[in-house]
Amino acid sequence: MSDPAKPVPTFATRNAADPAFWDERFEQGFTPWDQGGVPEEFRQFIEGRAPCPTLVPGCGNGWEAAWLFERGWPVTAIDFSPQAVASARQTLGPAGVVVQQGDFFAFTPQPPCELIYERAFLCALPPAMRADYAARVAQLLPPGGLLAGYFYLGENRGGPPFAMPAEALDALLAPAFERLEDRPTAAPLPVFQGQERWQVWRRRSG
């Protein structure tokens, strides 16, 4: 997690779809989206559930993936930034074995995932890639599979993180998913301006 007292570094790369954009930020330790631990809603969601194959795309430092691994979950965490992967492996120690470099839009986890955990990945993508995201999560999850995590909702311009109106998220996911949970996060990060919500979506049949 970045130190809010430090000035924002100067970056050469402005395209969030380019791994180099994220490499620069991890190299300079500028990661304001990183909570530095496991958020409470995620803990509550996991506790009492039977382990199932889980994918964490755009994992960054991968705190939640490591936490699942330590509890015996079959989990794969991916990031397309080599520096993010290196940072996660260094940060997580033995649990870093679950982290690998991969492009979410081309990566197929084995075994197939039944849960996808979303944290600061969708909002990191340029808005033009949102339809591809929705298609890919629907493709990867079986009927009854879950997409669970945090979604940055609002009218804010610019990014990343890129906010999206709540109705836009509904339009994006509702064709293939049914929403089961929706509530504000108990511990919002400043970068999300109090507009991050915990949601759980279940893959529809057919």
Digit-coded pLDDT (tens) for 68-106: 999 999 999 999 999 999 999 999 999 999 999 999 999
pLDDT 10s digits, 136-162: 999 999 999 999 999 999 998 888 999
Amino acid at 124: A
Average pLDDT of the segment spanning 110-127? 95
pLDDT-derived band at 29, boundaries 50, 70, 90: confident
Q: Which two tokens stand for residue 73?
A: 């979950």
Residue for token pair 């929403």: 179
Mean model confidence pLDDT for the chain: 91
Predicted local distance difference test score (pLDDT) of residue 72: 96
Packed helices 82-92 and 19-27: angle between N→C axes, nearest 10 degrees:
40
Strand bridging mode 146-152 / 75-79:
unpaired
Specify the pLDDT at position 7: 60
DSSP 8-state secondary structure symbol assigned to residue 153: B
Count CB atoms within 10 A of the CB of residue 135. 14
pLDDT of residue 48: 85
User: Residue 25, SS3?
Assistant: helix
Region 179-203: mean pLDDT is 92
The mean pLDDT of 173-187, rounded to a whole number, is: 95
Domain boundaries, the chain: 19-203
CA distances in angstroms from 166 to 29, 171, 204, listed in the order given: 31, 9, 20
Q: Is 88 exposed, middle or buried (0-12, 13-18, 19+ CB in 10 A)?
A: buried
11, pLDDT greater than 90:
no
Could you tell me the fold of the domain covering 19-203? Answer: Rossmann fold (3.40.50)
**Gap between the Cα atoms of 187 and 198, Å rounded:** 11
- Check residues 43 and 9 and name the one with the higher pLDDT: 43
What number is the average pLDDT over the span 43-62?
Answer: 96
